[in-house]
Structure 1
């Protein structure tokens, strides 16, 4: 009986010691999760899906993967992002609607699309010749005015912009002749995306907008169905339009504001520290992506020149004057807003 009593005490002490060790381990683990990487984070792991339409070999996918790694590191793994490229989860429009409806997703957005979610003023960023260079655009993206706009969009459209500074190089024109003078576009058939900002830019120049898919454009240029098309130099090179059109005019007419956003409801469900990490990392990554695009643009232009393409520098002051009506005729913002934006970007 004494032996059984002794064995029972030993077993009881073993259970007590194990329970103490387990409790200490849980406390230590909680401390690690709370202070990993020097940033206080929630203990429960949060998984966000990120959807975009770029390919797996694109600059965006490369930068996004690094962004997700840094976010995991800063939050001790408490905030995780799973990336789905090439529209794997559905069309971009569908994913934006899912975000606005409260889904735990991060989605690709541009200024025009975001403006349609309840804050039309944001559409001014899709206008022509708004800034002289990428540095000015990045500066405005950090301005108090832009921050106020993001709050307006979050309140009115339930869409929270994390960053909208993932700039590709501004769009140029490639075609069967030089378009250095804006008057040379009069009567020319130009392939354009069916977007209001693009139409409002080219129609005052006398161009005849023609809607074609990217896949149809190569043949249309080759057969003379259109005189020209426009896009960023990187996209022009990727589509191989320089094989059938030998004049690239560096107009830089529109610099698309691109980036990533999530539903405001989902954003508010995150801890304050997680929100801060997301905005900081996506903003920093936007600057990195823009720099990479610029570097690749220079290389692609050199390759196009080697393939026989002539490079023409556009008369930017003439183009800017000819398209200024975009800013002064809209009902979505006051006529003097463009001046305020340009002043903040200097």
Structure 2
């Protein structure tokens, strides 16, 4: 197993080095994402790629690797920590292992929609977490305003409340905040890479998953599920995270350009996502998937203890206040 991991890491690093030397720019950043090119968020990454070249007068280039071409998010984060010129679009739950406070961004029913959570990830308190993570773990956030939508339940049976999830093996990322949320909702959390969800559902290895609308159609999960229950249990805000060592090696003007353009591109991606949701829901319905609105109060009540269990009880009120504009 260790040999396989090392071989995979070597292949990824070889791809990065090859991509980095393929251009004449002074610096090249290789961005990995689990998203398909059809996802609205990917348009934001394309905007970032184009704007960076323009703003830097060609000194800095961005190359995109969709569908996790450089490996799982966790592997790319570890490559970044070694100083590799890579970045990954990643959620706060996965970053909690490096900076605990980041995990609250993936906590249940924290905020709704994009504008509120954007206030959180552009706040002074969040920037403090960014600085601490860069210094303590070698990971630099470029921007964290890449909103992918609210997560819903994907199953092959109707779901009306927590009791209906009993015995359901539900795919989720392996981060504690995700695992705790899905368990509290009533299902059995089953960590799997996103790329394996389609085949796992097809083979009945899992009974369900949870995801935002763009990811459902991007992974063609409408082919292997029959019901989407709109719980909106996690408001999926993600960030563009790179190597602090590599970032600090850039001239100061390129550091500023990279962070400024990442924030602007995050808005392009997030508002594009927001504007696409109604059409995606219609597409799912037309493909035969039943999309259901339910009363989410039982799920809100069931997941409320997750904050205290993970040590976010006090922070919850502060972050919700920022999201509300208080």
| CA deviations over 1:140-188 (Å, ceiling 9, x no partner) | 1111111111111111111110012211111111223332333332344
1:166 partnered with 2:146 = yes
1:87 positional shift: 4.0
State which of 190, 198, 201 in structure 2 corresponds to 1:215.
198
C-alpha spacing 1:170/1:98, structure 2 compared with 1 (3 Å): same
Aligned to 2:76: 95
Aligned to 1:83: 64
Which residues of structure 2 form unaligned runs of 5+? 1-23
CA–CA separation in structure 2 for the residues paired with 1:49 and 1:291: 24
Aligned to 2:286: 306
C-alpha spacing 1:294/1:336, structure 2 compared with 1 (3 Å): same
| CA deviations over 1:11-57 (Å, ceiling 9, x no partner) | xxxxxxxxxxxxxxxxxxxxxxxxxxxxxxxxx96312223134455
**Paired residue secondary structure (1:179):** coil
Aligned to 1:246: 226
Which one has a larger percent strand, Structure 1 or Structure 2?
Answer: 2
8 Å Cα contact 2:169-2:187 kept in structure 1: yes
Which residues of structure 1 form unaligned runs of 5+? 1-43
CA–CA separation in structure 2 for the residues paired with 1:247 and 1:58: 21
CA–CA separation in structure 1 for the residues paired with 2:303 and 2:250: 43
CA–CA separation in structure 1 for the residues paired with 2:171 and 2:25: 47
C-alpha spacing 1:145/1:247, structure 2 compared with 1 (3 Å): same
1:210 positional shift: 4.2
| CA deviations over 1:282-338 (Å, ceiling 9, x no partner) | 11111211222223332121022223333222322332121011111224x4x2110
1:200 partnered with 2:180 = yes
8 Å Cα contact 1:51-1:95 kept in structure 2: no
State which of 45, 52, 64 in structure 2 corresponds to 1:64.
45
Aligned to 2:126: 146
For these two proteins, the number of residue pairs brought into alignment is: 297
Which deviates further from its counterpart, 167-176 or 72-81?
A: 72-81
Matches for 1:1-346 after TM superposition, within 5 Å: 46-53=26-33, 54-117=35-98, 119-210=99-190, 213-220=196-203, 227-331=207-311, 333=312, 335-346=313-324
CA–CA separation in structure 2 for the residues paired with 1:228 and 1:89: 26
| CA deviations over 1:220-251 (Å, ceiling 9, x no partner) | 56xxx755332112222334433454332101
RMSD, aligned α-carbons: 2.5
> Normalising by structure 2, what TM-score?
0.81
> Normalising by structure 1, what TM-score?
0.77
1:85 positional shift: 3.7
**Paired residue secondary structure (1:48):** strand
CA–CA separation in structure 1 for the residues paired with 2:40 and 2:47: 11
1:130 positional shift: 0.9
Rg: which structure is higher? 1
C-alpha spacing 1:306/1:165, structure 2 compared with 1 (3 Å): same
